[in-house]
Amino acid sequence: MLIDFKNLNLNQLSFQSEFEIKIRNFLDEWFSDSKTVKVQTSGSTGTPKIFEIEKKKMINSAEMTCNFLGLKEGDTALICLPVEYISGKMMVVRSVEKKLKLIIADPSVKPLEQLNQKVDFCAMTPLQAENSLDQLHLIKNLIIGGAAVSESLKNKILQTLAESGASARIFETYGMSETLSHIALKQIAPQAEDYFKTFENVEISRDERGCLKIFAPSVNSEILQTNDLVKIKNGNQFRFLGRVDNVINSGGAKIFPEQLEALVKKEIGNEAVFLGIDDESLGQKLTLVIEGNSSEELKQKLSTVGYHEKFHKPKEIIYIEKIPRTPNGKVDRIKLKKTLNHKN
């Protein structure tokens, strides 16, 4: 299904699938007299909650992204993210405000499977991008968010685009529900960058823990305190080090699991998660959880991981059929840790 927001007449469109109907319902809410809309958080770092957001601030967010990417009236966009969450809602708002032609594809792990035309703009989760490598050349501007983009996926993206000769621009996003999608982007292709760069009028700093603080008045009037440990340079760029609440304390050493996961994913394509499993002598035992079956080839690749410290090497490696995820595709560390602690 395609919605042309330049020549919009909702009554002439036939919304049939469950996802299409959800988009129609959101459009009704968007075009209503209410100054706010309801948004649900993902629940990846706590209990899911619903809160109301001013439409004006969503419009401001849409303008920042569209201006950065150079999107113009009549360009095509594709939505394949659940519209219950801010990521999906913002794809609709960007299309409305910029008068884009919006292609609707049901959210799935292979959202581009039926795509047979070029698209100017799309947003995906890392899992969706991983399963859409063969079609990425069809997208001119792709933003990937909802979870960190692994080194393995970055390499696959660069290799795929090089083979196809496509000139796609692909970015990793940084943001949360409270920032109305993202406030910073980091380029993956055509050149991979190490630092996120914030949009204009976004101020960043660190608290006493080294965690990122965000002041983006056009999308949120409050200073947002995150639990993300970062390194800041040039005032408007930052490098994500890990979440302070994910830090593992093993034998007195503080370990950032996200950094170790990036190292492991340079060597293997499987999902990999480092956790601190309760242990009487160490406090927390550094444990690597791999999605998939054990094999000699996998073990060989894991043996080549270049850990910077001896204590970064996992005390145990566990293979699991499926790592639990939140509804929007993020690894559910809380559920995974509960599962493993229960087994032990």
pLDDT at 280 exceeding the cut of 90: no
Q: What are phi and psi of 56, to 5 degrees?
A: -60, -40
Question: CA angle, 170 as apex, 306 and 225 as ends, to 5°?
Answer: 75
The CATH fold of domain 247-343: GMP Synthetase; Chain A, domain 3 (3.30.300)
Residue range(s) in the chain whose domain bears CATH number 3.30.300.30: 247-343
Task: Give the list of residues 6+ apart from residue 342 with CB closer than 8 angstroms, or none.
Answer: none
pLDDT at 54 exceeding the cut of 80: yes
pLDDT tens track for 101-133: 999 999 999 999 989 999 999 999 988 999 999
pLDDT at 48 exceeding the cut of 70: no
pLDDT tens track for 61-79: 999 999 999 999 999 999 9
pLDDT at 342 exceeding the cut of 70: no
pLDDT at 329: 66
The overall pTM is greater than 0.85: no
Q: How confident is the model at residue 46 (pLDDT cuts 50, 70, 90)?
A: low
Residue range(s) in the chain whose domain bears CATH number 3.40.50.12780: 2-204
pLDDT at 76: 97
The CATH fold of domain 2-204: Rossmann fold (3.40.50)
Residues forming beta bridges with residue 142, ordered by sequence position = 122, 170
What's the distance, CA 75 to chain centroid? 23
